[in-house]
Amino acid sequence: MHVTTILAAKGHEVFSIGPDVSVADLIRSLCEHDVGAVLVVDDSDEIVGIVSERDVVRALCANAPALSETVSSIMTREVVTAPDAAEVADLMQLMTKRRIRHVPILSEANDLVGMVSIGDVVKNRMDELEADRSALMDYITHGG
């Protein structure tokens, strides 16, 4: 199954924030949008990083007054992305290998077309398993 199946179900919206915004405002944004990570984009809408709740926890652990610091001081600059032609299984491997739970998805033309989280991947897998189970039950109950 392709990543596009997930995006078709959840939508293409990707939340972003500026690098000079404070960590306190970042937390507000994560809560408001109910997401675990946002992309960091500059004034020209170029992706300059990604920041997740994990970065906030690390920053607070290292330095309690971190709330007044900027997103750019805690974000990850090397953003791992995946093409929309990727298989969901590839994305699962990528997330496991790189230990990340959020992957921005790019079109063939390199445009941002969505963000897939580990929650989306797990939901997709559960739906697939449920469909398989239901087909098997149907087969057992009604015959092939």
Torsion of CA 116, 17, 26, 84, to 10 degrees: 10
Per the CB < 8 A criterion, the answer to whether 104 and 83 are in contact is: no
In angstroms, rounded to a whole number, what is the distance separating the alpha carbons of residues 19 and 69? 10
Q: Supply the minimum distance, in Å, between the C-beta of residue 132 and ligand AMP.
A: 28
Q: Is 106 in the site for ligand AMP (CB under 6 A)?
A: no
Which CB sits closer to ligand AMP, 67 or 94? 94
- Strand 16-17 relative to strand 37-41: parallel, antiparallel, unpaired? parallel
Stretch that binds ligand AMP, among 10-18, 24-32, 97-105, 133-141 (CB under 6 A): 97-105
Which CB sits closer to ligand AMP, 122 or 131? 122
State both tokens at 58.
């690390």
Considering only residues 2, 54, 123, 125, which one is a binding residue for ligand AMP as defined by CB under 6 A? 54
Q: Supply the minimum distance, in Å, between the C-beta of residue 1 and ligand AMP.
A: 20
Q: How many CA atoms lie within 13 A of 141 on its CB side?
A: 6
Q: Is 7 in the site for ligand AMP (CB under 6 A)?
A: no
Q: Which residues bind ligand AMP (CB under 6 A)?
A: 36-37, 50-55, 76, 78-80, 100-104
